[in-house]
Structure formats: structure tokens, C-alpha cells
Structure 1
Amino acid sequence: MLRRQARLRREYLYRKTIEDKQKSIQDKKNRIKKSLENNTTIHGDLQKKALHYQKKLEWEDEGPEAAVKIGGESGGTFANSQDDEYRYAGVEDPKIVITTSRDPSSRLKQFVKEVRLIFPNAQRMNRGNYEMKQLISACRANDVTDFIIVHEHRGVPDGLVICHLPYGPTAYFNLSDVVMRHDIPDIGTMSEQYPHLIFHNFKSTLGDRVTSILKYLFPVPKEDSKRVITFANHDDYISFRHHTYKKRDNQIELDEVGPRFQLKLYQIKLGTLDAINSADTEWVLRPFMNTTVKRRFLSDADGWDQE
């Protein structure tokens, strides 16, 4: 089993390396093509190989590859190994394990119980003294698709880590303004139906990436499901809301189920938690980004800042 996992991981990294090289070459071709179409000066870094790339452009066309394009500002990018991370999404229901940091407080335990009810097919596991490698290995052996850890600071939940298995990515979120179910007056009952999902204001490439990470934690709902979960992005803070609805006199009435909280993404790693030190960083929120008040990374296409 360990040899097979190592081999699959090597194959995945090899495919990704080849894709990165092809992406770099295609980007240079697109820049040259754009300069020729607009009759502008070709960038100095591209002038030496401009004729070489221009000859290749003459023989290239959309071809059948256009059918596998995914949306983007420049007309789309070809499907790659990032898409393989979620290739079974929608075909098989996700299987999620949720745990906490070591020695959790009673409030964190209560919050994790409520988080488990949010995700269908989720299981809560006591952390104990297990190391991260042991936990991830056990999850892989049992075909777990996502591993979630909730952190706290002095009894207040303040962090959420979502690790997609078997290869990643791993997304890190700050957790704030947590209001648990028992803190909401006149709270509705918790439905076990598969929820419909609403994603608001995730318009950039990074926004699409975060949408995939969150969306595929949930199985495909049935049409008659009365349960709705909302992720609304405002100034890069993702508000989580959980409701059930019913129709009365041709009107829709919403009942909040809870809990409610806010997420703020600060890092995405291209790997799992057991090998996080050797994993590449796909995106990270850096200190200088906090000074750009007008920037919106999840809603603005210019906010995608890859490593």
C-alpha cells in the first residue's frame, strides 16, 4: 500500500511538472500572439525566441482541445492535474473526517459536533495523541476524501484546515465571529438532507479555486431538498449561513439552522498535512497584501497571486 501511494504521488508530481512547463511555453506564445495582433513591441525576454514561437503558432489551432477548456479571463486554460484532484466529485459522495487540535476545550468540542452535522457523511474523531502522519494514513486507507481540523485559541474556535485526499490541496482559513446553534434563539431543527449550495461573489480564478475546495465537501442534493447553505464573499471574508426553507402562501420562508461564522483564506498548499513542509505553496496571503485595501482576491480577477 505504501509503495503504491508513493508511486501514485510520483506520477502526480511528474504530470504536474510537465504541465507547468507546457503552461509556461503556452503563456509565451499567447503574449507573442497578442503583441502581433495589436501591432505592439514584443517584450525583451521573448524577442530571442519570438520567431521560433511564431512558426509554431502558424500550425496551431483550437482543435479538439477547446472542448476541455475551463473558464478564464484570457479565454480559458487547459484542464490539468488540479482538475484530477476532484475528478470523482459528483460521482461518489465525499467521505469526511473532522477532528480538533490536541486537548480541545468543551466549547470547541461542542462546535465540532455542530460542524459534523453540516457535512453529510462526516465523522468526528477524537484527536488523542495521534500524529498527523498516522491520521492521514488511516484516512487514506479508509478512502476518506477530506480531512478537516478545527483549531482554537483560549476556548474560541479560530482556525479551519481543509485537506483534500489523497494528494491535496490543503486550504487554511481563519475562523471568526463564531455563533453556535445553542446561542441562536428560536433555532430550527437540523435537517439531514443534502443541502443546496449558494456561492456569492467568487469571481476570480482564486475564487473558483476556493469554490471547488468548499463545494466538493458536499454531495449532490436532490431537487426537493429544503436545506440551503450559503457562502457569501464580502471583502475576502466568507460568511457561512445555514438555513432551511418552506413555501407558504406563494412565499419562501427561511429558518436559520446555524451555526454561523466567517472564514478568511490565508494559504493554499499543493499537498497534504502529512507532507506539508515539502509541499509547494499555491497561494498565500502576504503582509503587503493587507495594505492594498481596495484589492479583492476572491472577487477580482487581478487578485490571483500564485507562487
Structure 2
Amino acid sequence: MLRRQARLRREYLYRKAVEERNRAIQEKKNRLKQSLEENTPIHTDLKREALSIQKKLKWEDKAPERAVEIGTESGGGGESHEDDEYRWAGVENPKVLVTTSRDPSSRLKVFAKELRLVIPNAQRLNRGNHDVKELLSACRANDVTDLLIIHEHRGVPDGLIVCHLPYGPTAYFNLSGVVMRHDIPEIGTMSEQYPHLIFHNMTTKLAGRVTNILKYLFPVPKEDSRRVVTFANHDDTLCFRHHMFKRFQGATGRELELIEVGPRFQLKLYEIKLGTLEHADAADTEWALRPFMNTTYKRRFLSDADGWDAADNEV
């Protein structure tokens, strides 16, 4: 089992390295093609390779639309390591495990129970003395797709880690403004229907990555589901809201009523690692928030068209 996991990870890392190499080649091809189409001078660093690259362009076939879309996003030739990460997303229902940091408070235990109810097909595990390696090996043995770990500070939940298995990514969020169902009087019961998802004001490439990380925690809902989970972006903070809705005949015709069932909280992304939690120290950093940079306070990474500059934020 250990040898198989090591072999699969080596194969994944090899494919990712090949993707990086193909991305650099494809970027040169795109720049040369753009210069030829617009009849502009070829950039200095491409002049030496321009003739060989131009010959390669003549023999390239047009790829399928989905491959072109992925190749444009990643800068590669039509394949991405994201295909390995979310290969069966939407085909099979995700299997999510929710746990806490060690020695959790009673309030954190209650929040973990409520989060388990929010995510269908999720299971909650008491952390006990299990370390991260033990948790992840148990998750892989039981075909768990995502591991959620909730952290706290003095009884207040303040951190959420979403680790996608078996290859990653691992996303780190700050958690704030937690209002649990436990704190709302007469809130009623929570439906177990698969919820519809709403991602509001998520327009950048980084926002698409975050959307995938959160979206694939939930199974595909049925059309008649009356449960809605919303991630609304406001100043790079995701406001989580959970509602039930019902339609009724009002004075002005068919009307819609929203009923909040909780919990509610805010998520602030601060890092994405290309790997699982036990390899976090050695894994590449796909994106990280740099709050100490002079321009960070006026930049928006999830909603502006130019919000995610990989050169400024990658390690």
C-alpha cells in the first residue's frame, strides 16, 4: 500500500513537471503566433527560436474545445494537473471527513457537528491523539475525497483547512464571525437534501480555483431541491449563508420566501498548497496572501479581472 501511494505520487509529480515544461513552450508559441497575426516585431528572447517554433505551429492540429480551454488557463498543451485532482468530480458523490484540532472545546465540537450536517455524505471523527499522517492514511484507505480540519482560539472557531485527496490541493482559510445554529433560538431542523450552490462575485482565475475546491465538497443536487448554500464574495471574504426556500401564491403572484437555517460564517483564503496536508512543508505554494506588500490592501484577488498575479504571490 505504501509503495503504491509513493508510486502514484511520483507519477503525479512527473505529470505536473511535464505540464510546467509544456506550459513554457506553449507560451512561446502563443506569443509568436500573436506577433505574426498582428504584424508586430518579434520579442527579443524569441528571435533565436522563432523559425523552429514557427515550423512546429504548422504541424499542430486543432485540439478539442475543452482541451483548448484547459490549455489556455494553464498555459500548457491541453492537459492540467487539475484533471488528476478532480477527475471523478460530479461523477461520484464526494465523501467528506470533518474533524477538529486536538483537545477541542465543547463549542468547537458543536460547530463540527453543524458543519457535518451542512455537507451531505460527510462524517465527523473525534480527533483524539491521531496525528495528520494517521488521519490521511485512514482517509485514503476508506476512499475519502476531502478532509476538513477546524481550528479554534479560546473556544472560537478561527481556521478551516480543506485537503483534497489523494493529491491535493490543500486550501487554508481564516474563519470569522461564526454564528452557529446552536445560538439561534427556534431555528428548527435542517434538511438533508443536496443543496444548490451559489458563488457570487467570483470572476478571476484564483476565484475559479477556490470555487472548485469548495464546490466539489458537495454532491450534485436534484432540480427540486429547496436547499441553497451561498458563498458570496465581498472584499475577498467569502460570506457563507445557508437557506431553505419555498414558493407560495402571494398578492402579486408567485412569491419566494427564504428561510435561513444556519450556521453562518466568513472565510478568508490565505494559502493554497499543491499537495496534501502531510507534505505541506515540502509542497509547492500555488498561491499565498502577502499582506505585508504595499499594494495588497487595495487589490482584490477574487473579484477583479487582474486580481491574481501569480508572479507576485507564488513562492
Classify the TM-score, shorter chain.
over 0.9
Q: What is the aligned length?
A: 306
CA shift for structure 1 position 49: 1.6
CA 1:73 to 1:56, structure 2 compared with 1: closer, same or farther past 3 Å?
closer
Q: Shift of residue 43 of structure 1?
A: 2.7
Cα distance change, pair 284–35 in 1 and its aligned pair in 2 (3 A): same
Which residue is 2:52 aligned to?
52
Structure 1 counterpart of 2:287, one-letter code: W
Structure 1 residue 72, shift from structure 2 partner? 8.6
Query: Residue 233 of structure 2 contacts residue 302 of structure 2 at CA under 8 Å; is this kept in 1?
Result: yes
Instruction: Look up the equivalent residue of 2:131 and give its one-letter code.
Output: E
2:304 is the counterpart of 1:305:
no
**Percent sequence identity over matched residues?**
71
RMSD: 1.9
Say if 1:289 and 1:195 are closer, same or farther in 2 by CA, change over 3 A.
farther
Please say if 1:13 is aligned against 2:16. no
Between the aligned partners of 1:289 and 1:233, the Cα distance in structure 2 is 22
Q: Find the counterpart in structure 1 of residue 93 from structure 2.
A: 93
1:288 Cα deviation from its structure 2 partner: 4.2
Q: In structure 2, what is the Cα distance between the partners aligned to 1:281 and 1:112? A: 27
- Shift in Å, 1:164: 0.3
The answer to whether the 8 A contact 2:19-2:79 is kept is: no
- Amino acid paired to 1:14: Y
Q: Is the 8 A contact 2:290 2:296 kept in 1?
A: no
The 8 Å contact of residues 188 and 256 in structure 1, kept in 2 or not, is answered as no
Which amino acid in 2 is paired with 1:284?
A
**5+ residue gaps, structure 2:** none
Give the Cα separation in 1 of the matches to 2:72 and 2:300. 16
TM-aligned CA distance change 1:67 to 1:259, over 3 Å: closer
Q: Which residue of 1 aligns with 2:271?
A: 267
Deviation of 1:65 (Å): 3.5
Cα drift, residue 301 of structure 1 = 3.3
Per-residue CA distance 1:216-265 (angstroms, 9 max, x = gap) = 00011111111000011111100100000011111110000100011011
TM-score normalised by L of structure 1: 0.94
Whether the aligned pair in 1 keeps the contact of 2:99 and 2:150 (CA below 8 Å) is yes
Give the gaps of 5 or more residues in structure 1. Answer: none
Could you tell me how far 1:3 is from its partner in structure 2?
1.0
Q: Is the 8 A contact 1:161 1:171 kept in 2?
A: yes
Matching residue of 1:192: 192
- TM-superposed deviation, 1:153: 1.1
Matching residue of 1:69: 68
CA distance in 2, matches of 1:168, 1:15: 14
Deviation at 1:97, TM superposition (A): 0.7
Give the conservation status (yes or no) of the 8 Å contact 2:206–2:301: yes
Alignment of 1:261-300 (within 5 A): 261-289=265-293, 291-300=295-304
Paired residue type of 2:259: D
